[in-house]
Chains A and B, each alone.
Chain A
Amino acid sequence: DAGITQSPRHKVTETGTPVTLRCHQTENHRYMYWYRQDPGHGLRLIHYSYGVKDTDKGEVSDGYSVSRSKTEDFLLTLESATSSQTSVYFCAISLKGGTEAFFGQGTRLTVV
């Protein structure tokens, strides 16, 4: 298994609160991604990073921000959580953009 750790694995939070999800890798891969998985939508890209402090938006970036201050860590922040952000969030890593990505175990987030 690729060395990817997501934390927390489960979280319940209230509408309007900020939430930060963490992804940690031990593989020294350049690219890191945050996806969300929802029924009927598959996996949708939220944000990705192609290096320390280099990030870009994905398909569904509204309401989310990211930071990457170290190669191994990629943080996803929901600035003010809404019920529509209830989802399973997956972090992924890859050596090159657009190639095989390796996924973490996921974080199930519930916004009530």
Chain B
Amino acid sequence: DQQVKQNSPSLSVQEGRISILNCDYTNSMFDYFLWYKKYPAEGPTFLISISSIKDKNEDGRFTVFLNKSAKHLSLHIVPSQPGDSAVYFCAASGTGTGSARQLTFGSGTQLTVLP
């Protein structure tokens, strides 16, 4: 049973418009959430994170929103650029013990920004 779900395998957006990537989680013990970006043949790179004590974190063109009651987070990219085309992974970690404290990843969303 996937604890972190990205239900949209792919998303296409026009350059300059907003990209919204969504992520849902089921484990109420998760208290830290991250987004990673991955280009082909490269390792994932950390993008932005948010703690459960916040509902928004912004870094340049990237903003992450957290809705704890809905167990939902989203990544907004404004404005979208062709270089943003990549697979985006949502990840979460929690207050459990052992491997439960480590990052659990979603299945990823392929973002394509069209020029």
- Interface set of A (CB-CB < 8 Å, partner B): 4, 33, 35, 40-45, 48, 56-59, 90, 92, 97-106
B63 within 8 A of A: no
Total chain B interface residues with beta-carbon distance under 8 A: 26
Contacts of A97 in B (CB 8 A): 93, 101-102
Establish whether residues A58 and B107, one from each chain, have CB atoms under 8 Å apart when the complex forms.
no
Establish whether residues A104 and B43, one from each chain, have CB atoms under 8 Å apart when the complex forms.
yes
Establish whether residues A106 and B42, one from each chain, have CB atoms under 8 Å apart when the complex forms.
yes
Establish whether residues A45 and B107, one from each chain, have CB atoms under 8 Å apart when the complex forms.
no
Given known A42-B107, A44-B105, contact A56–B99 (CB-CB < 8 A): yes
New A-B contacts (17) at CB < 8 Å, excluding given A42-B6, A98-B32, A103-B45: A35-B105, A42-B4, A42-B105, A43-B44, A43-B105, A45-B102, A45-B103, A48-B99, A56-B99, A92-B43, A98-B102, A99-B49, A100-B46, A103-B36, A103-B44, A105-B42, A106-B43
